[in-house]
Amino acid sequence: MNAKKIVVTGGPGTIGRRLILRLLEAGYNIHSVDILPWPGAPCPHIMADMRNLGETADALSGADIVIHLAAVRVNDIVTPGETFSQNVLTAFNVFWAAKLVGVRRVLWASSSHAAGQPYDIESMPKAMPLIETDQPSCADTYGFSKSCMESVLKHQRVWSGLEIAALRVGFAYESSDYEFLYNVDCPRIFANPVERLSNLWGYVDGRDVFQAFQLGIESPASLAGEILFITSDETLMNRPTRELLAEFSPNTKVAADLPEFGGFYSVARARKILGYEPRHSWREFVAL
């Protein structure tokens, strides 16, 4: 149906698997690349180490659009330093290789961590909702790696001929997660909201993640250098947003037009640039 060749890095990952299935269902010509094998992959999959520029260029050859999802997080195996260095190196290699082989557009999954997440009571933002031009103060090397690579997007003379857009994807849930969320996680979080203060009680539905990337694929406008929050426009809490802030961050300034359960990350720019509109809510599945 769609002749564009789209290469997705990090295809075997949590977001990648579902995103690729949805892209395939929509008729796109999808190829996956990752350092790991993907037995039973639903599309052509090749293994490449994106820390190596040559391997990356080979993997992206012939692509019209690249969706760059591959990244590492701090965990028991990967140290904070490795998290930063690997994420920065692989993102740069993807961007540079894309330019070398003639890719038209890279849609890069940055993260809400680039805005300063994880938060605590001592580091809450001064104003809500957050917008993309706010100055971040990152709390870990994962967020710092994303923020660092966002900063290179503005150097358009370097990337001339290639559009790179950063989509700051929030914590993603699938509809199949909502029953567990409501029956197991929500009672605990509702009783002790500080448990999810670290990401400002935010989330995004996986179908809206797909919507954002599809809009990015099809947009006729230039997306060069754009940084966009891709989250829900509401929280996953049963308490109004202003009530949460009054308890946990009373000095935070709140926009007058923020809805009762409005989210802490503004999607206004994504609406303007992409036509993105969060369509799916966990509240559809539960009776509060």
**DSSP string covering 110-173:** EEGGGGTPSP-GGG--SEESB-TTSPP--SSHHHHHHHHHHHHTT-TTTSTT-EEEEEEE--EE
Which tens digit of pLDDT belongs to each residue from 113-133? 999 999 999 999 999 999 999
Closest CA to 200 of 113, 93, 276, 278: 113
Q: What is the pLDDT of residues 75-116, one digit of tens each?
A: 768 899 999 999 999 999 999 999 999 999 999 999 999 999
The count of other CB atoms within 10 Å of the CB of residue 133 is: 7
pLDDT of 136-184, one tens digit each?
899 999 999 999 999 999 899 999 899 999 999 999 999 888 888 888 8
Question: How does the average pLDDT of the chain come out, rounded?
Answer: 94
Nearest-angstrom CA–CA distance, 12 and 39:
9
- Amino acid (1-letter code) at residue 51: R
What CA–CA distance (Å, rounded) separates 283 from 279?
Answer: 11
Q: Considering the entire predicted model, what is its pTM?
A: 0.95
Q: What is the pLDDT of residues 176-206, one digit of tens each?
A: 888 888 888 888 999 999 999 999 999 999 9
CATH number for the domain running over 5-173+202-233+263-282 = 3.40.50.720
119 with 199: CB under 8 angstroms?
yes
Q: Considering only residues 136 and 10, tell me which one the structure prediction assigns the higher pLDDT.
A: 10
Residues 259-285: tens digit of each pLDDT: 999 999 999 999 999 999 999 998 887
pLDDT at 2: 63
Q: What is the pLDDT of residue 178?
A: 86
Confidence of residue 1 (pLDDT cuts 50, 70, 90): very low
Give the Å distances, CA to CA, from 27 to 4, 6, 209.
10, 11, 17
Give me the torsion for CA of 6, 153, 101, 213, rounded to 10°: 0
Which phi and psi (to 5°) does residue 272 adopt?
Answer: -70, -45
Peptide bond before residue 259 is cis, with ω within 30 degrees of 0:
no
